[in-house]
């Protein structure tokens, strides 16, 4: 983030440091950063790295859902196609193969 900070600083844009910025940084450090990696490591230890890696494809799906909810992004047809492909891929990759 240092290059972006230097670019904004050179343009005269400064971040006003107050208690809200501090709370936001603490929240981001604890929950999304540390908490998500802790949960991911726990899931990998339970189901194994091969099966856990498949679920990384859910990141764009959840990112789209959050963008629609929090940023009022419009739901487009390509969102639907992408979600369907992701879900089908997860089902197919978790399907047990018989007579193999």
Predicted pLDDT at 71: 84
pLDDT band per the 50, 70, 90 thresholds, residue 84? very high
Q: What is the 3 state secondary structure string of the chain?
A: CHHHHHHHHHCCCCCCCCHHHHHHHHHHHHHHHHHHHHHHHHHHHHHCHHHHHHHHHHHHHHHHHHHHHHHCCCCCHHHHHHHHHHHHHHHHHHCCCCCC
- pLDDT winner (highest mean) among 32-36, 51-55, 84-88: 84-88
Average of per-residue pLDDT across 28-44 = 83
Quote the pTM value.
Answer: 0.59
Q: How far is CA 6 from the centre of its chain?
A: 26
**3-state class (DSSP) for residue 99:** coil
pLDDT band per the 50, 70, 90 thresholds, residue 77? very high
Residue 21 confidence (pLDDT) above 90: no
Predicted pLDDT at 100: 60
Which is more confidently placed, 87 or 94? Answer: 87
Buried b (16+ CB within 10 A) or exposed e, 34-66: eeeeeeeeeeeeeeeeeebeeeeeeeebeebee
């Amino acid at each position: 983030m240092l290059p972006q900070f230097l670019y904004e600083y050179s343009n005269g844009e400064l971040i006003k440091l107050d208690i809200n910025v501090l709370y936001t940084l603490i929240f981001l450090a604890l929950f999304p950063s540390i908490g998500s990696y802790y949960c991911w490591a726990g899931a990998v230890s339970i189901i194994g790295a091969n099966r856990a890696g498949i679920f990384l494809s859910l990141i764009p799906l959840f990112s789209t859902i959050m963008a629609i909810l929090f940023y009022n992004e419009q739901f487009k047809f390509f969102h639907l196609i992408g979600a369907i492909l992701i879900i089908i891929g997860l089902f197919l990759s978790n399907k047990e193969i018989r007579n193999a």
